[in-house]
Amino acid sequence: MTVTPSSVSLEALEALDLDPAFALHRGGKMEIRSTVPVRDAGDLALAYTPGVARVCSAIADEPELAKDYTWISNVVAVVSDGTAVLGLGDIGPAAAMPVMEGKALLFKEFAGVDAVPICLDCTGVDELVETVVRLAPSFGGINLEDISAPRCFEVEARLREILDIPVFHDDQHGTAIVTLAALKNAARLTGRSLGELRVVVAGAGASGIAVSRFLLDAGVGDIAVADSKGIVHEGRDGLNPVKQALARDSNRAGLRGSTEEALAGADVFVGLSGSTVSEEAIASMAPDSIVFALSNPTPEVRPEVAARYARVVATGRSDFPNQINNVLAFPGVFRGAMDVRATTITENMKVAAAEALAAVVGDDLAADHVIPSPFDERVAPAVIAAVSAQARADGVARL
């Protein structure tokens, strides 16, 4: 066997470790720990052979017992192909691993869910689906992450059809849940219903399309969605099937042109694009406007600039008020679904999660507090309870 030496010198590693982010990531952010002792031969005989054979035989006769006598019912696969990582784009599976480790860490820290980061060296829809299906017997849920659009829609849809465990693309649904929760409270603060709002969404990737769909289903009055070529509308050339469907269901006002043109008189801006929006465009919005500039690390408009004109301003960053962060949703959604061994995550379960999140704010509602902090200890229990109850109501719970 030929061993290829590392191309990174010890001196280079030491220099990188001067950066606290690199120092924290040295050796990875996770480890596996046993939950039972192995102190003597008796323990070994129960944890491994011969005791383990009795458990294996029982599971072979009744496969559902695996959910009771292995860790499956409490473990999620965090799966990515590295094609749409954060704001970094298509950086590949190896470079995606720190993000997937981070996601797995958040599952554990915020909802006690064990998660395994899996970065796949394939990008074709058929390959991704087949690989995840083959891995699925080892997991109680599948969290898809950072898979580029429009492939991500088909990958998720096909996996949901094949598998009888929760499959959830967090870039789509986690973002949508938290955005709806924040918008419900922002609308309440400004004395409006969702049906009165005209929304402009910048970004027609996975999160932009999912958020737009979710808000429309929740009863938002009208939504215009823009991609890099302008507003998505019926009759526009070059739209893929996903955008064609969105064009049919959105933009009732028949807007054309750019994001900034569409913002004139709009009530809400939701930024999920990585682009920039001028101060003048924000100033042109309706009175008591709501600005969710969610791109990370650089919001579409600086929050202090947006605050000159908007009643409510939110970002995706932790160093500004109103952080719209997926960590508010996905740990509790999976915990709630897995606690009742749900076969899927329904639209109603996602709505229940959003409503539970919004309710946590309660009487503390203010312009700088339309969404709870990820560190609010009420968040996960509220989401877990709502999702579990809705799974039972929807008939998808097995417990």
What token pair was written down for 147?
């898979």
What's residue 86's pLDDT? 82
Secondary structure letter of residue 236 according to DSSP: -
User: What is the layout of strands, in order, in the sheet containing 312-315?
Assistant: 230-231, 222-227, 198-202, 268-271, 290-293, 312-315
The pLDDT tens digits of the residues spanning 201-214 come to 999 999 999 999 99
Burial 211-229 (b: 16+ CB within 10 A, else e): bbbbbbebebbbbbbbbee
The pLDDT tens digits of the residues spanning 140-165 come to 999 999 999 999 999 999 999 999 99
Look up 69 and say whether it is catalytic: no
Does residue 124 carry a pLDDT above 70?
Answer: yes
Instruction: Given the residues 29, 67, 69, 103, select the one marked as catalytic.
Output: 103
Does residue 298 carry a pLDDT above 60?
Answer: yes
In percent, how much of the chain has pLDDT > 70?
98
What's residue 114's pLDDT? 97
What's the rounded mean pLDDT across residues 1-17?
A: 75
Sign of the C-alpha dihedral computed for residues 81, 333, 317 and 304 taken in this order: positive
The pLDDT tens digits of the residues spanning 226-259 come to 999 999 999 999 999 999 999 999 999 999 999 9
The pLDDT tens digits of the residues spanning 169-218 come to 999 999 999 999 999 999 999 999 999 999 999 999 999 999 999 999 99
The pLDDT tens digits of the residues spanning 328-358 come to 999 999 999 999 999 999 999 999 999 999 9
What's residue 224's pLDDT? 97
The pLDDT tens digits of the residues spanning 350-393 come to 999 999 999 999 999 999 999 999 999 999 999 999 999 999 99
What's residue 3's pLDDT? 55
CB 374 within 8 A of CB 328: yes
CA distances from 93 to 27, 96, 122, 175, 296 (A): 17, 5, 9, 22, 20
Look up 67 and say whether it is catalytic: no
In percent, how much of the chain has pLDDT > 90?
89
What's residue 5's pLDDT? 60
